[in-house]
């Protein structure tokens, strides 16, 4: 029976774009231009009469039909690769480490997760991880990520999720800023200090209002950084006061590199969630990472409870 297959070039372009979640990265793999990838994918969609990607200004996302088709093509290309290797008498790569693709909030990865990954590798030496520091968890889960660590409001509804921890915000600073006659003794004294912001001035403005000094302290003053890591670095350098939660600032607090100078803590609707794509649920590697992560956060919970208590925390 005659097969009615699309052109191989269009299938390769689509499979690579789906795997990378990017026309640009697919073009790099196949040594062509992003425009060529775009044209090949469009040609495939025309041949099939099905839309495979949703196109946005700066990104693409697989449609439900595209996800199913991409998974089937990836398996087929893997089989072709194995068969070709056998004909060439090349060894199978069965012993290569498995790779889990994990997307997560950059602050969570940089300030908490990264320091603990050595323990995951020790427990699971046969599982290799690929980490994507990005808040766009839904986009990556629809394209190539297996797991997301969502850090914020409610996680994407299209995926299975599990709540890991709540968050509460409080100011932190270098111990050096609490020395001297100008050291702030209460939140209203922050008007004489530099406030360090992450992303926008909204969080500081809210915290100051809740602490009862929003009318006297300008919550919009001070530099704005766009990553948690940069905010923490500035706080560690003694450049000002930052807002942190138990995960982002926790290790620095426990080590005495940062201190929590005030008692007031602002409860938030933010949370940390474990999110997994439907096709990866039940996979052993996913279960291994989930179990390890839950253990790590459970071990750290007593410290987070201490940070969230309505009292200063200054380790001398």
Q: What are phi and psi of 247, to 5 degrees?
A: -85, -45
**pLDDT of 259:** 93
Specify the pLDDT at position 52.
92
Q: State the Rg of the chain over Cα.
A: 24
Q: Residue 314 has what pLDDT?
A: 61
Q: Which among 244, 305, 226 has a CA at the least distance from the CA of 236?
A: 244
Residue 200 CA to residue 11 CA, distance in Å, equals 43
Residue ranges of the chain with per-residue pLDDT less than 70: 1-2, 82, 85-98, 310-316
Q: Which of 168, 260, 242, 238 is nearest to 204 (CA)?
A: 242
Which residues are CB-contacts of 277 (< 8 A; sequence separation ≥ 6)? Answer: 141, 142, 145, 146, 147, 159
The hierarchical CATH code for the domain 8-87 is 1.10.10.10
* Residue 98, pLDDT score: 64
Catalogue the long-range contacts made by 56-65 (C-beta closer than 8 Å, 24 or more residues apart). Answer: 59/21, 59/22, 59/136, 59/139, 60/17, 60/21, 60/22, 60/23, 60/143, 61/21, 61/139, 61/142, 61/143, 62/18, 62/142, 62/143
Contact predicate 18/75, CB 8 Å: no
Query: Which fold, 97-316?
Result: D-Maltodextrin-Binding Protein; domain 2 (3.40.190)
Q: What is the pLDDT of residues 169-202, one digit of tens each?
A: 999 999 999 988 788 889 999 999 999 999 889 9
> Domain locations in the chain?
8-87, 97-316
> The tokens of 153 are what?
């409001």
Q: Which residues contact 249 (CB under 8 A, 6 or more apart)?
A: 111, 172, 232, 242, 258, 307
On average, the pLDDT of the chain sits at 86
The distance of Cα 196 from the centroid of its chain, to the nearest Å, equals: 22
């Amino acid at each position: 029976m005659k097969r009615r297959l699309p052109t191989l070039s269009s299938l390769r372009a689509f499979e690579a774009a789906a795997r990378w979640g990017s026309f640009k990265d697919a073009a790099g793999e196949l040594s062509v231009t992003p425009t060529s990838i775009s044209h090949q994918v469009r040609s495939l969609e025309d041949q099939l009469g099905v839309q495979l990607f949703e196109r946005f200004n700066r990104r693409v996302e697989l449609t439900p039909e595209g996800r199913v088709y991409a998974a089937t093509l990836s398996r087929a290309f893997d089989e072709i690769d194995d068969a070709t290797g056998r004909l060439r008498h090349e060894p199978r790569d069965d012993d290569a480490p498995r790779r889990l693709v994990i997307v997560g909030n950059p602050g969570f990865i940089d300030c908490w997760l990264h320091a603990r990954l050595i323990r995951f590798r020790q427990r699971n030496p046969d599982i290799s991880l690929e980490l994507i520091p990005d808040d766009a968890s839904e986009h990556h889960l629809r394209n190539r990520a297996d797991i997301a660590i969502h850090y914020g409001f409610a996680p994407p509804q299209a995926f299975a999720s599990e709540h890991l921890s709540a968050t509460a915000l409080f100011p932190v600073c270098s111990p050096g800023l609490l020395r001297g006659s100008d050291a702030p003794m209460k939140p209203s004294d922050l008007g004489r200090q530099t406030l360090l912001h992450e992303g926008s001035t909204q969080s500081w403005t809210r915290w100051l209002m809740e602490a009862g000094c929003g009318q006297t302290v300008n919550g919009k003053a001070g530099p704005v950084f766009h990553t948690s890591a940069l905010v923490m670095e500035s706080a560690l350098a003694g450049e000002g006061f930052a807002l942190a939660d138990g995960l982002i600032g926790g290790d620095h607090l426990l080590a005495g590199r940062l201190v929590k100078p005030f008692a007031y803590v602002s409860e938030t609707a933010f949370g940390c969630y474990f999110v997994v794509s439907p096709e990866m649920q039940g996979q052993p590697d996913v279960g291994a990472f989930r179990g390890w992560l839950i253990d790590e956060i459970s071990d750290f919970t007593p410290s987070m409870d201490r940070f969230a208590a309505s009292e200063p925390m200054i380790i001398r």
